Amino acid sequence: MSSKSIFGLAPRLNLSLEPTSSARKFHIRRLQDILQLSVQREDFARAKKAWAILARCTEVDWITIWETGLSVIGKATGQSLEEHDTSRMGNRERLDYLKIVMLRHKPGREQILQEIVLTLIASQRHQEALDELELYLPSFPFQDNPVLHTYAGLIALFLAQPAGSISGPRSQSQAREAMLIREAKSHFERALALDQENVVSLRFLDKVRQV
Domain range list for the chain: 1-122, 125-211
Pick 23 or 184 by higher pLDDT. Answer: 184
pLDDT at 95: 92
Higher confidence at residue 42 or residue 167? 42
Query: What is the average pLDDT across 163-189?
Result: 76
pTM of the model: 0.74
What is residue 170's predicted lDDT score, i.e. its pLDDT? 54
Distance between alpha carbon 109 and the CA centroid of its chain, in Å?
A: 11
Distance CA 161, CA 177 (A): 7
Three-state SS annotation for 186-203 = HHHHHHHHHCCCCHHHHH
Specify the length of the chain in residues.
211
Mean pLDDT value of segment 70-99: 70
Where residue 59 falls among pLDDT bands split at 50, 70, 90? Answer: confident
pLDDT confidence of residue 121: 94
The whole-number pLDDT of residue 14 equals 45
State residue 150's pLDDT score: 97
Ramachandran quadrant class, 159 (left: phi over 0; alpha: psi -120 to 50; beta: rest) = alpha
- Percentage of residues of the chain with pLDDT beyond 90: 40
- The answer to which of 104-108, 154-158, 173-177 has the lowest mean pLDDT is 173-177
pLDDT at position 13, please? 43
Q: What pLDDT score does 73 carry?
A: 82
Mean pLDDT of the 77-90 span: 54
What is residue 176's predicted lDDT score, i.e. its pLDDT?
85
Q: Which residues contact 190 (CB under 8 A, 6 or more apart)?
A: 146, 149
Q: Is pLDDT at 178 greater than 60 in this prediction?
A: yes
> What mean pLDDT value characterizes the chain?
81
pLDDT band with cut points at 50, 70 and 90 for residue 77? low
Whether pLDDT at 209 is above 90: no
CA 106/CA 123 separation, integer angstroms: 25
Architecture of the CATH domain 125-211: Alpha Horseshoe (1.25)
Residue 112 has pLDDT above 80, yes or no: yes
Average pLDDT over residues 21-49: 86
Collect all residues with Cβ–Cβ distance below 8 Å to 94 and sequence separation of at least 6: 70, 73, 74, 115, 119
Give the whole-number percent of the chain exceeding pLDDT 70: 78
